[in-house]
Amino acid sequence: MMNKICLVLVLLGFLSVANSSYADPESDLEMIRQYYQEMFPDVAFEDYANGVYALDENAREQWQEIEEFPPYEIAVDTGEELFSTPFKDGKTYADCFPDGGIGIKQNYPLFDAESGRVITLELAINECREKHGEKPLKYGKGEIASISAYMAYTSRDNPVNVIVPDDPRAIEAYEKGKKFYYSRRGQLNMACSTCHIANPGNKIRADILSPAMGQTTHFPVFRSKWEEMGTLQRRYAGCNKQVRAKPFELQGEEYRNLEYFHTYMSNGLPANGPGARK
């Protein structure tokens, strides 16, 4: 009974959204590709996977120097070791994922019809641990970033393939992430889109802004500023703080929905994580 009421409410919510100029995910994708194509006619589609380096030649050269021996390689090694170390019950991460967890990063985040939630790779890693009697890892950096880095490394060059199924709950999650991306927040009254949709290629203080499309492909990243690895949601928290908004809990509903919408925008681009950033 309760479930039915919930479903009706969700559907009503969905309908009201649909009434106010709702665009389905495929149309969003088409719009955003065309939008950037017009903004940067010289940038090839695949190059968006390189973030700001698709737009800034000077920075690109330095990044390529770093890529000669990227600092994330250490995390990939550590991640591989952690990934293949059995849990107390003898199982490993490979038992929790399709294809033994190899070459699957491009499908995350995914919508889980059973639980009705968006599942990010990091959430799946921790739920796997808990299923096999291990304590969850702290989100954002450290071991979880290393494991995620290794899994991303095995998925390189696979095209990002986030699916929003025809399920009102999935569409609602996508819409919530979209609303987050386009809502001004914090004392600086800036939305994610203020910088990364309206202003890529322009400078904010001394930094050139990256386009939204392609921002997620290379995560987790080794950021020189952090001097270590961090996950996409760690970066979300940093961005929120920079506009002086209170960040949300990592892997809470808000950031998972945001990651869902945000990553969907990069569909079709090559997954190229882990990455190195300034």
Partner 1 sequence: MKVKAKMRKDMVSVKLLAQHPMETGLRKDKETGETIPAKFIQELSCMYKEKTVFIANFGRAVSKNPYLAFSFSGGQKGDPLTLSWIDNTGETKTTEAVIK
Partner 2 sequence: MTRITSISFTLIVGFLLMFNVACSDAEDSGNNKGTIGLEQLLDSAEQARQKASDAGFEWNTIQPLLDKGRETMEKGDEALAHDLFSEAKAHAELAIAQANYADKHWRLLIPNSE
Partner 3 sequence: MFYKRRLLLRGMLSFTTAFSALALMPGIVFAKWSKAFDADTTDDALLGMFDSKELVSSDQIKFKIPEIAENGAVVPVTVKTDLPNVSNISIFAEKNPQPLAASFTIPEGTAADVSVRIRLGETMNVTAVVKADGKLYSTQKEVKVTIGGCGG
Q: Footprint of partner 3 on this chain (CB under 8 A)?
A: 51-52, 58-59, 61-63, 65-66, 68, 204-210, 221, 223-225, 227, 242, 277-278
Per this entry, what is the length of the chain?
278
Site for partner 1 in 72-111 (CB under 8 A): 73-74, 77
Report the partner that residue 16 touches, choosing among partner 1, partner 3, partner 2, none (CB closer than 5 to 8 A by kind). none
Give yes or no for residue 109 binding partner 2 (CB under 8 A).
Answer: no
Give kind and range of the element (H or E) at residue 65: helix 57-67
Binding residue for partner 2, selected from 103, 136, 142, 186, defined by CB under 8 A: 186
Give yes or no for residue 59 binding partner 1 (CB under 8 A).
Answer: no
Give yes or no for residue 186 binding partner 1 (CB under 8 A).
Answer: no
Report the partner that residue 35 touches, choosing among partner 3, partner 2, partner 1, none (CB closer than 5 to 8 A by kind). partner 2
Between the two ends of the chain, the Cα-to-Cα distance in Å is: 53
The residue count for binding partner 1 (CB under 8 A) is: 7
* CA dist., res. 140 & res. 228, Å (int): 11
* CA dist., res. 130 & res. 88, Å (int): 11
Rounded (10°) CA dihedral 119, 122, 124, 126: -130
Site for partner 1 in 220-239 (CB under 8 A): 227
Active site residue 239: yes
Give yes or no for residue 69 binding partner 1 (CB under 8 A).
Answer: yes
Nearest to 53 by CA among 160, 207, 246: 207
Residue 11 CA: distances (Å) to CA of 100, 127, 168: 36, 29, 7
- Residue 162 token pair: 């986030």
| Residue listed under structure tokens 């600086």 | 188
Do 237 and 247 form a contact (C-beta atoms < 8 A)?
A: yes
Query: Of 96, 128, 192, 239, which is the active-site residue?
Result: 239
On the CB side of 102, CA atoms within 13 Å amount to 5
Strand order in the sheet with 221-223: 228-230, 221-223, 275-277
Binding residue for partner 2, selected from 7, 99, 198, 207, defined by CB under 8 A: 198
Nearest distance, CB of residue 227 and partner 1, angstroms: 6
* CA dist., res. 59 & res. 63, Å (int): 6
Give yes or no for residue 183 binding partner 2 (CB under 8 A).
Answer: yes
* CA dist., res. 248 & res. 234, Å (int): 10
Report the partner that residue 88 touches, choosing among partner 2, partner 3, partner 1, none (CB closer than 5 to 8 A by kind). none
Give yes or no for residue 71 binding partner 1 (CB under 8 A).
Answer: yes
Nearest distance, CB of residue 40 and partner 2, angstroms: 13
Do 101 and 150 form a contact (C-beta atoms < 8 A)?
A: no
Binding residue for partner 2, selected from 168, 220, 247, 275, defined by CB under 8 A: 247
Q: Contact positions toward partner 2, by CB under 8 A?
A: 20-21, 23, 31-32, 35, 179, 182-191, 193-195, 197-199, 202, 204, 240-241, 244-248, 254
Catalytic sites, residue numbers: 239
> Which residues would be at the binding site for partner 1 (CB under 8 A)?
68-69, 71, 73-74, 77, 227
